[in-house]
Amino acid sequence: MSSANKYTLKPSLSEKFKGIIWKIETDEKQTVVAIETRDVENHTATFSAFDFRTGECFFREISVEDSWNWGIDRVTGGLVFLHGYLMEKSPEHKGIIALNRKGEAQWQHFNKTLYTVSEEGLIAYNPSIQPRFHELLSPLNGSVQQYPVKDYKPVSRDIIIPDITDDIPLNRHLLPQNISGPVLYSMFNKKKFFSFHVKTGEGYTQKLLVYKGDTLILDEILALNIQKFNPEAFFIQHNHLFCICDNKQKFVSYLV
């Protein structure tokens, strides 16, 4: 964080990774965040999980066999669920690996696909069987609890994504004059969150500002010398602000 001692908003979690942060998923009820990172040059993917409230590390940059072909799907019940793919270069998922807090595979199914997470458990299906029938799986061990299942209640997720706006006259005094492109904006818990780009040399710098009233409480540089606008800046969930900085290699969370 820039000028770390100047601003009052301090990180509850701050982690730098070797690879590029590819995906972030949070548990809808627990304070667990899972982070997928990828090393394009070495064609490998790694997975990490933390408590974003306390900063505790559960596991960091662990891998699985054929890691490039696996990615984070969801996080629920404190478990991190990975998905594979039906075939190479296909977006359709196939396979489930459930990682526990030690980063170990608690269970796995290679012939099933995770469809969604419900209050009753995991909703999955076999992509090789048509027509498709959903089934209810136990998150703890992957056992079938009900087949087929038609009625279930998807878990609610309190994720706040910033709005994109070009019109911010009421807040113009809080922002620099040399903004390029739109401003991403959210308001939460009496705080204002802004993300935007400014022209620097031959590229752009992406910044994140947080104000409480007219007092600046966070000034974060998300990316330096990027060649095009980054549409992803931050999101808010479980009363925490989440963002990626240092050109997609650092993850930070703040209690807001």
- What pLDDT is stored for residue 202 in this prediction? 84
- Statement: residue 33 has pLDDT above 70: yes
- Higher-pLDDT residue of 228 and 170 is 228
Residue in 118, 114, 137, 138 with CA at minimum distance from that of residue 126: 114
- What pLDDT is stored for residue 56 in this prediction? 98
pTM over the 0.85 mark? yes
Q: pLDDT, tens digit, for every residue of 154-208?
A: 999 889 999 987 666 557 788 888 899 899 999 999 999 999 999 988 899 999 9
- What pLDDT is stored for residue 2 in this prediction? 43
Averaged pLDDT, 252-256: 97
Concatenated DSSP letters of 84-115: EESSTT--SEEEEEEE-TTS-EEEEESS-EEE
- What pLDDT is stored for residue 168 in this prediction? 65
State the Cα–Cα distance between residues 127 and 144, nearest whole angstrom.
16
In this prediction, residue 232 has a pLDDT band, given cuts at 50, 70 and 90, of confident
Q: pLDDT, tens digit, for every residue of 128-153?
A: 898 999 999 999 999 999 999 989 99
Q: pLDDT, tens digit, for every residue of 2-25?
A: 444 577 999 999 999 999 999 999
Residue in 114, 99, 3 with CA at minimum distance from that of residue 47: 99
CB-based burial, 127-157: b 16+ in 10 Å, e otherwise: beeeeeebbbbebeebeeeeeebeebeeeee
Q: What is the 3-state secondary structure (H, E, C) of 159-221?
A: CECCEEECCCHHHHHHCCCCEEEEEEEEEECCEEEEEEEEEECCEEEEEEEEEECCEEEEEEE
The residues spanned by each domain of the chain are 19-146, 163-237
Q: pLDDT, tens digit, for every residue of 48-88?
A: 999 999 999 999 999 999 999 999 999 999 999 999 987 77
Q: What percentage of the chain carries pLDDT values higher than 70? A: 96
Residue in 79, 84, 49 with CA at minimum distance from that of residue 64: 84
Q: Is 155:172 a contact under the CB 8 Å cutoff?
A: no
